[in-house]
């Protein structure tokens, strides 16, 4: 394979600016599919992705493109996930490319993630071609957006291309620009193998499919490969290119992007960022930039019906095959019985897993209050990491508590400055800074405890800015914090799954808020229910759910047994989404409601 006819590139964009639509249009133009076969959004093929319009799992494709100069090029489009939770995966995908298309919506302009993604591309020394998409929209302002790209992002105006991914205008010019302006890969096929893993998916027949970029050397079926981070050795069964399906080839060599099958059982063994080399002729050092992706948000999952426990266990195992970032271990709760403590990359990741469990595996779940991982220094000088409020150590033995912080970057029109500032202050924001990237728009940065952001921060931001605010974050270090454990008691019994760690100064307000929310969520029952919030033995808030006097079947005078049965059935269906704690039925929604704030 001649390297000067290869181009490796990614498409990066803020959510919904049209990345997948453009990718599909390019696939169509390169004649990989006929018009008839063309199915919208080929690259986003998971149900949930399609519904939510977000790319979660990246897919790569190799496009044969015959340029105006008559040469046929191999364009490797490395698709990247489009959400902040997955930014490490994005950075590994970018590290496997020489260039990127940076898409900016012609109506929305530059957003927080446009910037974040551009920075990632710059860190990886990529040549960036800015693309203004959706020029067909009546509200499109390509002139204004061009200026923004030139002045705020500092990108070369000459390189800007305009297109409508929807109707195809300008897409051919983008393909030409890729060939003309992006550099071909460099690397030496004669050197020892160095390949960077940027993704791994699971195929139930073939095992793990590793997506990788060959930096130096080559790899072919029969080779013994070694993963440098773990030392694991595998024998290559097949290598090939990503077309619409996997297309086997004799070998992959320097500059190429492709897949390797080596009978690997779990995607967890092929870590993004890791370097693959040959066992018999290894390279001297791994490629830089590898790190383990660690979960940052934790929540326990309990099946509503105890009989579903085994099914939940096997469903989680199946999901993990394809989602190495999902971690789980057995957990039990006095209130909820047996379940699993799971770790996620962020809240979106958590929601996706929850939805897949409910939809694909038909398991009704209770999710406990999401939590971050706290660090405790104990009086005996030992250190303890706790991600489950139920395991909060004895307060008399704690000398220091630390929690993870993030730096949030928020882009908003100037008029929302006040409300956004207030929101950040409520969430214990510090070190707020802002500047005006363009007149009328503010980029606001602020350091916040991650715990204050994981639940509803993004939703609140969207609602107070009428959808104009965009948000991105990066992890900072752990910082000391004055935290206490807030317990919730239902009829005098602590419901461990409702406990949360909160800042002391907010404890009373949070306690009251949680009691009020629960009062809304817990349906009235035949007896009075007391809901209390407590720190240790101190009750700091309380409300009651008053008793229900009416018998549901009382309406069925005359003793019509079928009507009576129907009503009882209806009640039972409602109960399927509830968990009985002591003698009180608590609905699924209540477990997250305690985190809601107004
Ligand atoms: P993520 O996968 O979440 O990163 O989103 P995305 O950037 O891939 O966006 P996607 O391609 O799913 O497009 C988002 C929405 O914009 C869809 O409803 C598209 O139909 C629409 N869209 C994309 N390109 C165009 C365009 O050129 N013109 C118009 N009018 N709409 C477009």
pLDDT beyond 70 at 55: no
- 49 Cα nearest atom in ligand 1: 2
Distance, in Å, from the CA atom of 528 to the CA atom of 544, rounded to the nearest integer, reads 7
Q: CA nearest 384: which of 395, 372, 393, 376?
A: 376
Instruction: Summarize the confidence of residues 119-140 as an average pLDDT.
Output: 92
Classify residue 530 by burial, with Cβ atoms within 10 Å: 0-12, 13-18, 19+.
middle
Distance, in Å, from the CA atom of 546 to the CA atom of 253, rounded to the nearest integer, reads 72
User: Angle at Cα 448 formed by Cα 443 and Cα 449, nearest 5°?
Assistant: 155
Classify residue 340 by burial, with Cβ atoms within 10 Å: 0-12, 13-18, 19+.
buried
| Residue 549: other Cβ atoms inside 10 A | 8
pLDDT tens by residue, 182-241:
999 999 999 999 999 988 888 878 888 999 999 999 999 999 999 999 889 999 999 999
What tokens were used for 533? Answer: 């919030």
Question: Mutation test of ligand 1: which of 21, 52, 108, 167 has the most ligand atoms closer than 8 Å to its C-beta?
Answer: 21
Q: Categorize the per-residue pLDDT at 248 as very low, low, confident or very high, splitting at 50, 70 and 90.
A: very high
pLDDT: which is higher, 495 or 128: 128
Binding-site entries for GTP: 16-21, 133-136
Name all residues whose Cβ lies below 6 A of ligand 1: 13, 15-21, 44, 53-55, 82, 133-134, 136-137, 164-166
Q: Categorize the per-residue pLDDT at 558 as very low, low, confident or very high, splitting at 50, 70 and 90.
A: low
Q: Are strands 161-162 and 127-133 parallel, antiparallel or unpaired?
A: parallel
Q: CA nearest 461: which of 432, 424, 414?
A: 424
pLDDT beyond 70 at 84: no
Q: Dmax of the chain from CA atoms?
A: 90
Residue 19 CA to ligand 1 centre (angstroms): 6
The number of residues making up the chain comes to 598
Binding-site entries: 16-21, 133-136
Distance, in Å, from the CA atom of 273 to the CA atom of 292, rounded to the nearest integer, reads 8
pLDDT beyond 60 at 505: yes
pLDDT tens by residue, 446-466:
999 998 888 778 778 888 887
Question: Rounded to whole angstroms, what are the CA distances from 266 to 60, 324, 329, 356, 539?
Answer: 20, 8, 17, 19, 48
Is residue 233 helix, strand or coil?
A: strand
Distance, in Å, from the CA atom of 296 to the CA atom of 347, rounded to the nearest integer, reads 9
60-74, 229-243, 406-420: least confidently modelled range: 406-420
4-8, 151-155, 279-283: least confidently modelled range: 151-155
- 52 Cα nearest atom in ligand 1: 3
Segment holding 285, helix H or strand E: none
Question: Mutation test of ligand 1: which of 20, 111, 171 has the most ligand atoms closer than 8 Å to its C-beta?
Answer: 20
Alpha helices by DSSP H, listed for 152-270, are 171-181
What is the pLDDT at residue 411?
A: 84
| Residue 440: other Cβ atoms inside 10 A | 9
Segment holding 241, helix H or strand E: strand 238-242
How much is the ipTM here?
0.97
Question: Mutation test of ligand 1: which of 53, 82, 472 has the most ligand atoms closer than 8 Å to its C-beta?
Answer: 53
Tokens 């139930």 correspond to what residue?
A: 204
Q: Whose CA is nearest to atom 18 of ligand 1?
A: 16
Q: What is the pTM of this model?
A: 0.74
Distance, in Å, from the CA atom of 509 to the CA atom of 497, rounded to the nearest integer, reads 20
- Report the half-sphere exposure of 345 (CA within 13 A, side-chain side): 21
Residue 20 CA to ligand 1 centre (angstroms): 7
- 23 Cα nearest atom in ligand 1: 11
- All residues at 6 or more sequence positions from 222 whose CB lies less than 8 Å from its CB, including other chains: 235, 236
- 55 Cα nearest atom in ligand 1: 2
Q: Whose CA is nearest to atom 26 of ligand 1?
A: 134
DSSP designation for 371: B
Distance, in Å, from the CA atom of 485 to the CA atom of 390, rounded to the nearest integer, reads 9
Residue 105 CA to ligand 1 centre (angstroms): 9
- Name the average pLDDT for the chain: 84
Residue 18 CA to ligand 1 centre (angstroms): 3
Question: Rounded to whole angstroms, what are the CA distances from 182 to 6, 60, 100, 213, 493?
Answer: 10, 18, 8, 17, 64
Question: Mutation test of ligand 1: which of 44, 165, 167 has the most ligand atoms closer than 8 Å to its C-beta?
Answer: 165
pLDDT: which is higher, 240 or 2: 240
pLDDT beyond 90 at 151: no
Q: Categorize the per-residue pLDDT at 27 as very low, low, confident or very high, splitting at 50, 70 and 90.
A: confident
Cβ contact 402:480 at 8 Å: yes
Residue 347 CA to ligand 1 centre (angstroms): 23
Q: Whose CA is nearest to atom 1 of ligand 1?
A: 54
| Residue 188: other Cβ atoms inside 10 A | 14
Order across the sheet with 327-333: list the strands.
327-333, 337-344, 297-303, 365-367
List 252's β-bridge partners, or say none.
219
Residue 420 CA to ligand 1 centre (angstroms): 27
pLDDT beyond 90 at 131: yes
Residue 8 CA to ligand 1 centre (angstroms): 22
Residue 21 CA to ligand 1 centre (angstroms): 5
What is the pLDDT at residue 53?
A: 46
What is the pLDDT at residue 194?
A: 96
Q: Categorize the per-residue pLDDT at 579 as very low, low, confident or very high, splitting at 50, 70 and 90.
A: low
Distance, in Å, from the CA atom of 451 to the CA atom of 97, rounded to the nearest integer, reads 34
What is the pLDDT at residue 41?
A: 46
Q: Could you tell me if residue 347 is left (phi over 0), alpha (psi between -120 and 50 degrees) or otherwise beta? A: alpha
Q: Whose CA is nearest to atom 3 of ligand 1?
A: 54
Cβ contact 12:120 at 8 Å: yes
Is residue 15 helix, strand or coil?
A: coil
Residue 251 CA to ligand 1 centre (angstroms): 36
Q: Whose CA is nearest to atom 16 of ligand 1?
A: 18
Quick one: CA torsion of 116, 121, 125, 127, rounded to 10 degrees?
-120
Cβ contact 457:372 at 8 Å: no
Is residue 87 helix, strand or coil?
A: helix
What is the pLDDT at residue 479?
A: 94
- 167 Cα nearest atom in ligand 1: 27
User: Angle at Cα 475 formed by Cα 472 and Cα 480, nearest 5°?
Assistant: 130
Q: Are strands 127-133 and 99-105 parallel, antiparallel or unpaired?
A: parallel
- 24 Cα nearest atom in ligand 1: 11
257-277 exposure pattern, b = at least 16 Cβ within 10 A, e = fewer: bbbbbbebeebbbbbbbbbbb
What is the pLDDT at residue 57?
A: 47
pLDDT: which is higher, 475 or 258: 258
What tokens were used for 78? Answer: 């490395």
Segment holding 283, helix H or strand E: none
List 419's β-bridge partners, or say none.
none
Is residue 530 helix, strand or coil?
A: strand
Instruction: Summarize the confidence of residues 52-79 as an average pLDDT.
Output: 79
Residue 436 CA to ligand 1 centre (angstroms): 27
């Amino acid at each position: 394979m001649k390297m000067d006819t290869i181009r490796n590139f990614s498409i990066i964009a803020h959510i919904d600016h049209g990345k997948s639509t453009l990718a599909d249009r390019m696939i169509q133009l390169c004649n990989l599919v006929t018009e008839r076969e063309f199915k919208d959004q080929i690259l986003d093929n998971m149900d949930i992705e399609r519904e939510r319009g977000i790319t979660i799992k990246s897919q790569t494709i190799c496009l044969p493109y015959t340029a105006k100069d008559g040469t046929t090029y191999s364009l490797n489009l490395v698709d990247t996930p489009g959400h902040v939770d997955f930014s490490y995966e994005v950075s590994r995908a970018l590290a496997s490319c020489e260039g990127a298309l940076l898409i900016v919506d012609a109506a929305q302009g530059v957003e927080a993630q446009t910037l974040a993604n551009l920075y990632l591309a710059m860190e990886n020394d990529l040549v960036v071609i800015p693309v203004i998409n959706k020029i067909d929209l009546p509200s499109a302002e390509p002139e204004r957006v061009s200026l923004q790209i030139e002045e705020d992002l500092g990108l070369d105006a000459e390189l800007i291309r305009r297109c409508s991914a929807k109707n195809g205008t300008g897409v051919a010019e983008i393909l030409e620009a890729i060939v003309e302006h992006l550099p071909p890969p460099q690397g030496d096929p004669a050197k020892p193998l160095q390949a960077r893993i940027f993704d791994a998916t699971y195929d139930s027949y073939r095992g793990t499919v590793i997506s990788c970029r060959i930096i130096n050397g080559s790899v072919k079926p029969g080779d013994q490969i070694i993963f440098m981070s773990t030392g694991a050795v595998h024998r290559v069964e097949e290598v090939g290119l990503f077309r619409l399906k996997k297309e086997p080839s004799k070998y992959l060599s320097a500059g190429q992007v492709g897949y390797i099958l080596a009978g690997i059982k779990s995607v967890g063994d092929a870590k993004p960022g890791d370097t693959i080399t040959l066992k018999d002729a290894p390279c001297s050092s791994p490629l830089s930039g590898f790190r383990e992706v660690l979960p940052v948000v934790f929540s326990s999952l309990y099946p509503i019906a105890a009989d579903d426990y085994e099914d939940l266990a096997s469903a989680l195992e199946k999901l993990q095959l394809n989602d190495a970032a999902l971690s789980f271990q057995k957990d039990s709760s006095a209130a909820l019985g047996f379940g699993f403590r799971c770790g996620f990359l962020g809240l979106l990741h958590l929601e996706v897993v929850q939805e897949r469990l409910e939809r694909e595996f038909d398991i009704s779940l209770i999710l406990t209050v999401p939590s971050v991982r706290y660090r405790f220094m104990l009086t005996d000088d030992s250190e303890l990491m706790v991600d489950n409020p139920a395991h909060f150590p004895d307060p008399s033995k704690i000398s220091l508590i630390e929690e993870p912080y993030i730096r949030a970057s928020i882009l908003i029109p100037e008029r929302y400055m006040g409300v956004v500032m207030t929101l950040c202050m409520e969430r214990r924001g510090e070190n707020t800074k802002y500047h005006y990237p363009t007149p009328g728009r503010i980029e606001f940065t602020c350091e916040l405890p991650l715990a204050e952001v994981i639940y509803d921060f993004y939703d609140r931001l969207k609602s107070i800015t009428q959808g104009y605010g965009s948000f991105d974050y990066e992890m900072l270090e752990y910082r000391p914090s004055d935290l206490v454990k807030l317990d919730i008691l239902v009829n005098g019994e602590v419901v461990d799954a409702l406990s949360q760690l909160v800042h002391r100064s907010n404890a009373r307000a949070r306690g009251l808020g949680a009691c009020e929310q629960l009062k809304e969520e817990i349906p009235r029952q035949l007896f009075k229910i007391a809901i209390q919030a407590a720190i240790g033995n101190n009750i700091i808030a309380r409300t009651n759910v008053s008793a229900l006097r009416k018998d549901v079947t009382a309406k069925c005078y005359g003793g019509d047994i079928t009507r009576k049965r129907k009503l009882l059935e209806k009640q039972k269906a409602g109960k399927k989404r509830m968990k009985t704690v002591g003698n009180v039925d608590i609905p699924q929604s209540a477990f997250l409601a305690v985190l809601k704030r107004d």
